Structure 1
Amino acid sequence: MFSAFSILLGLQLALSLSTKETLPSSHRNWNICHVRTSLSDNLRKQFSNLRTAISEEQIFYPLMWIMTSFAVVPILSGTMFCFQTQYLKLDPSVIGLSKVVGQVMVLSLTVLYNKYLKKIPLRRLVAGVQTMYALAVLSDLVLVKQVNLMLGIPNEIHVLCFSALAEAIAQFKVLPFSVLLSSQCPPGCEGSLFAFFTSGLVFSAIVSGVFGVGLSSLIGVSGGDYTSFPLCILLQSLAALVPLGWISFLPEKWTADDKILKPR
């Protein structure tokens, strides 16, 4: 199964690299798309266009911020899942349903952004979202310390309503950057830039996961001992505030209403 999946991905990559990006509104580009170029020439040209786009400051610095903002925060989702299923004995279906609730939150935040939040300058908006993310991480601390039971809230209800809150905010944080990149990207390399953007986010998530595993191991959290788990969550919340230290990488006054319509 793994070999078949790898072959399929390889074919998809080869097809993507052999497809030349064109501008549909240009008659000249419509003619160019019929010219067959070699895979190596097309790859070289796309890489050159991507390098040119990334070298622009209005693209490079926001890219670096969003990627590092994910990478420096250790993800403890695996440890939390074990805590919920092994220690609290929660039904996995409740945890799965909480993910659905999280996606509903993302959809709601997207609608809210389109109506109101896009008018807020990017730097101020992202700073607020990042702060909310750091606070949302603490909802796991409430569950681990069983504060919700003291307030009369069952574990199932708390997990259903708050377990995916931080993840939903993290997913929403990508949206303003997608709008920014779409407005600043040079014509002709939109696909390459967004592929690089997505790959960078995936790599950041991998680094974040490695940090999470390392943090849990370092502090001594294991399947039979969760006494140090609250400390892990506190450190995760503090780490979520670290990217605010280089928030100046983001444009101070840019809003989604200021999108630059580049000539086609």
Structure 2
Amino acid sequence: MRAEDEEGDAAFKPGYSTSSLSTAATDGALAKHESQWGISGFFRVLCDAFGWRLLLMLTLTEAGLKGFAAGGGNGGLIGLPIEYLLKEFHVSAGNIQIYRSAVSVPWSIKPLLGLISDAVPIFGYHRVPYFFFVTTAGTISCLLIALYSDLTLTMLLILLFFVFLMVAWSDLLTEAVYSVVLREKPEHGPSLISYVWGGISCGRLLALLAVGEVMTHFGNRTSYLIATPMAVLSLLVPLMNLPQETRSRAKCGAKLSGSELPLAIVAFITGCGTLGLALLSIFGGSLQTKVFAAACLAVLALGLVSCALSPIIAKMNAFFFIQNICSFGIGGAQFYFFTDGPESYPEGPHLSKVFYTSAIGMVSTVFSLVGMVIYNRWMQRWSYPHILMFGNILTAVCNLLNCLVFSRWNLKLGINDHVFVLGSDAIQNVVQEIAWLPTMLLISQLCPKGCEATMFALLAGMSNLGASLGSYFGAYILVLLGVQPTGEANESAEFDNLWIASVVSSVGPCIPLALVYQLIPNVGQKDTVPGLASSTQGSPLNNLLVRWGWMEDESSSEEVEMQNVLGKGDDSDDDR
């Protein structure tokens, strides 16, 4: 989240604190210290500002657990082997997507996880006990996946769910800790954020270098054994109380009041609905049933969030939620297409584990940075509708390159599969980064002051949920087109219509662009979004809660405060 920079001389601004007055001097000293000492000075400044406990916590959870073990989210040592594990059970392409979305659902229910830890303290603690429980469960799950090769499919999916729950919840709790200290020492904020995301990036790169070779030489489950020490080390966070959390006397539900009550209601209902869909996906039901449940959840989540948030935020959320759903993921079919051996798909690319996981992952990482440089250099001054139109249309055009390899036209053009895959992936990651960065910037700018963390978690969770639901609908499209490979022998015919599915998946995200000027504020990326006073003011749910007496009318409070100010002015005039 970005705060507007203050301009001018602080000494002439009323209401400035002494800490604000010393910011410039602090920044100068910080720059001088870092220039003298380099990397060692960088760490020394952070240690002096935040203490070694916070830095150790960030290293263990963000660099180690989220970066190295999870590859920044759904990849790394615990995410990249999932398709290969499911392939051992001959899971169809559509079900691979659904199972992957189900086990990674903790990233979509982070608002619910945050609500639980905030509203239900354990023995007076909001973070440390939850950290201990989820990390212990995730550690045991990693060990069981690595050591027991005769697990049933259902048991494997449950264990994978707990592994991702460990990463997502610990990430949320860590974000809550360092967001507090950032508010206390904002002058060191950029350095701390650089430390966090630099650690995640380094961990992700190490995982990409290792995971392909590990799976090739030691089996698909060994990477979970390597991830286990990172999970064990993360137990130091609660055991040593690295967050330095003190016992609270607040009762359960004490924080569920005021303007955050509508957000809590939305987080609870959508989180429970998403969790229910994941359980349905894991424990059974036909694919049609799962897709129907996903459609119901999409309507419920979009309708509820639109009723709970202020109109400007609700419109923006609707645009990105619908766009992510229209992505219609086909990753399960792509996996089989690229990795099937000669006995299954004689005409296929037959990419090795090292190439499919490590090589493509490294190229994606590098060229995402290229896209970031291009965006920062030339596209920061574009308005939001213009950059979203340009970025998404360009992304769709570049994604259509996949149709060439799926129809095998690249071979007819004399382009080797490995060269074509790396080249197209590089181009796609550049333009996807250009389309993604303004999205995250807009989400950050639409988080009103005072509830930034809650709103960002809710909007990011809705974005993740939309992408997961898009995988469900994409799985159904694969069924309709007869694209259902399972890794069995002689399944070449299963890929005949994959290029059609790729066209639908590529063009789908452009559908909501027809409403971009109605749903996205037409302002520059460096401008303030107007009309953003509160996260829920003016929403139907907010008005209903005010009518029932469960909330105070924010607009009335502002009017009373203004009248008091005017009243004081009138009194002073009378005195004169």
- Aligned partner of 2:328 in structure 1 is 74
Q: 1:103 to 1:49 in 2, by over 3 A?
A: farther
CA distance in structure 1 between the partners assigned to 2:443 and 2:350 by the alignment: 44
CA distance in structure 1 between the partners assigned to 2:413 and 2:501 by the alignment: 23
Is this contact kept in 1: 2:321–2:463, CA < 8 A?
yes
Is this contact kept in 2: 1:139–1:162, CA < 8 A?
yes
- Aligned partner of 1:40 in structure 2 is 253
- Aligned partner of 1:29 in structure 2 is none
- Aligned partner of 1:64 in structure 2 is 318
Superposed, which structure 2 residues align to 1:89-128 within 5 Å?
Answer: 89-96=350-357, 97-128=359-390
- Aligned partner of 1:145 in structure 2 is 407
- Aligned partner of 2:199 in structure 1 is none
User: Offset at 1:172?
Assistant: 4.5
- Aligned partner of 2:496 in structure 1 is 227
Superposed, which structure 2 residues align to 1:1-264 within 5 Å?
Answer: 1=141, 2=159, 5=163, 8=166, 12=170, 24=184, 37-45=250-258, 47-48=260-261, 50=263, 55-86=309-340, 87-96=348-357, 97-163=359-425, 165-166=427-428, 169-170=431-432, 172-223=434-485, 224=491, 225-248=494-517, 249-252=519-522, 254-259=523-528
User: Offset at 1:155?
Assistant: 0.2
CA distance in structure 1 between the partners assigned to 2:386 and 2:247 by the alignment: 46
Is this contact kept in 2: 1:123–1:251, CA < 8 A?
yes
Cα deviation per residue 1:88-123 (whole Å; 9 max; x = unaligned)?
A: 212232222112212222222222222221111110
CA distance in structure 2 between the partners assigned to 1:8 and 1:146 by the alignment: 41
- SS of 1:257's equivalent? coil
Is this contact kept in 2: 1:102–1:164, CA < 8 A?
yes
TM-score, normalised by the number of residues in structure 1: 0.81
CA distance in structure 1 between the partners assigned to 2:529 and 2:172 by the alignment: 32
- Aligned partner of 1:30 in structure 2 is none
AA paired with 2:330? L
CA distance in structure 2 between the partners assigned to 1:260 and 1:24 by the alignment: 26
Q: 1:171 to 1:204 in 2, by over 3 A?
A: farther
- SS of 2:355's equivalent? helix
Cα deviation per residue 1:103-154 (whole Å; 9 max; x = unaligned)?
A: 2222222222222211111101101111012112211101112222233221
CA distance in structure 2 between the partners assigned to 1:257 and 1:82 by the alignment: 43
AA paired with 2:507? L
User: Offset at 1:45?
Assistant: 4.9
Q: 1:211 to 1:171 in 2, by over 3 A?
A: farther
CA distance in structure 2 between the partners assigned to 1:234 and 1:74 by the alignment: 10
TM-score, normalised by the number of residues in structure 2: 0.39
Mean CA deviation greater in 4-13 or 83-92 = 4-13
Is this contact kept in 2: 1:119–1:255, CA < 8 A?
yes
Structure 2: stretches of 5+ with no match in the other structure: 1-140, 142-158, 187-245, 267-304, 341-347, 486-490, 533-576
User: Offset at 1:167?
Assistant: 5.8
User: Offset at 1:233?
Assistant: 1.4
CA distance in structure 1 between the partners assigned to 2:317 and 2:253 by the alignment: 27
The share of aligned pairs that are identical, in percent, is 19
> Which structure exhibits the higher relative contact order, with contacts defined as CA atoms closer than 8 Å and separated by 6 or more residues?
1
- SS of 2:496's equivalent? coil
Is this contact kept in 1: 2:315–2:520, CA < 8 A?
yes
Name the count of aligned residue pairs. 255
Is this contact kept in 2: 1:99–1:164, CA < 8 A?
no
User: Offset at 1:24?
Assistant: 3.5
CA distance in structure 2 between the partners assigned to 1:7 and 1:163 by the alignment: 29
Structure 1: stretches of 5+ with no match in the other structure: 27-32
User: Offset at 1:35?
Assistant: 7.6
- SS of 1:74's equivalent? coil
- SS of 2:253's equivalent? helix
CA distance in structure 1 between the partners assigned to 2:351 and 2:168 by the alignment: 40
CA distance in structure 2 between the partners assigned to 1:98 and 1:57 by the alignment: 41
User: Offset at 1:6?
Assistant: 7.8
Q: 1:46 to 1:159 in 2, by over 3 A?
A: farther
Q: 1:10 to 1:260 in 2, by over 3 A?
A: closer
Is this contact kept in 2: 1:140–1:163, CA < 8 A?
no
Is this contact kept in 2: 1:133–1:240, CA < 8 A?
no
Q: 1:58 to 1:11 in 2, by over 3 A?
A: closer
